[in-house]
Amino acid sequence: MSVKSQSFDHPTLSAAVESCLPKLQAVALSLDMYGSAAEAAKLHEVIEELKSVYPNGVVPFTGSMDFVVNGTFKVSRQQVANTLWHVFNEEISWFKVADKTAPRELKFRFIDQISPGIVDYPLNEGGIVRVVDTGARPKIFELRLDVIARGLAVLANRYPRHFADLINENADVFTGDALLQCCLFGELIYS
């Protein structure tokens, strides 16, 4: 009688774990910020147990258009678009959009029914939105896909409440402003 090694021979089980882990991690982050430390600790134990079935505790990349932040949190482009939409549609005094460069191909669209816009371009490979800092240090910054990925990591590491709001889809203009500043400056300069 042979003993089978622990593996994911059933794609549905593997897909369920891959799907549930980011959701559980979002709830854990929210509990860390706003809830009971004991409940958060229990949830972190469950997450670690689920991750332990993968080699090296790393959930395999599925090739999606999601951002993976700190090797733990999966953030969809739609979540980022929703967050950036808030900041680009409000009167924020520290910046203005200088110009934009359309990507060669729009693989991601924020809202399919309208023409591509300011939120779509930087979330597609090759798309750029140039932002002028009208505040203390007037300079032009580029918002691109790689800059957004770096900004998400800064947001998660340095401003976890804003990051929790983003992944729990509670983003508002303050979350969008924090994300944009983390992308462009690597920190919050304007409050």
54 and 79 both lie in a single domain: no
Residue 82 belongs to a domain: yes
Phi-psi label, residue 64: left if phi above 0, alpha if psi -120 to 50, beta otherwise: beta
83 and 171 both lie in a single domain: yes
What is the per-residue pLDDT for 6?
46
115 and 141 both lie in a single domain: yes
Residue 94 belongs to a domain: yes
Span of 1-5, 120-124, 133-137, 175-179 with lowest mean pLDDT: 1-5
Question: DSSP per residue over 14-25, as a string?
Answer: HHHHHHHHHHHH
88 and 32 both lie in a single domain: no
What is the per-residue pLDDT for 96?
92
Neighbours of 104 (CB within 10 A): 9
33 and 101 both lie in a single domain: no
Parent domain of 22: 11-60
Q: Provide the pLDDT confidence category of residue 49 given band limits of 50, 70 and 90.
A: confident
pLDDT of 9 strictly over 50: no
Amino acid symbol at 70? N
The four Cα atoms 25, 27, 32, 33 give a dihedral, to 10 degrees, of 120
Rounded CA separation 25/72 (Å): 8
Domain count, the chain: 2
37 — phi, psi (to 5°)? -65, -35
153 and 97 both lie in a single domain: yes
State the pTM of this model: 0.67
Q: Provide the pLDDT confidence category of residue 61 given band limits of 50, 70 and 90.
A: very low
Give residue-wise pLDDT tens across range 133-186: 997 778 999 999 999 999 999 999 999 999 999 999 999 999 999 999 999 999
What is the per-residue pLDDT for 3?
45
* Whole-number Cα distances in Å, 189 to 93, 130, 153, 154: 13, 18, 17, 13
50 and 94 both lie in a single domain: no
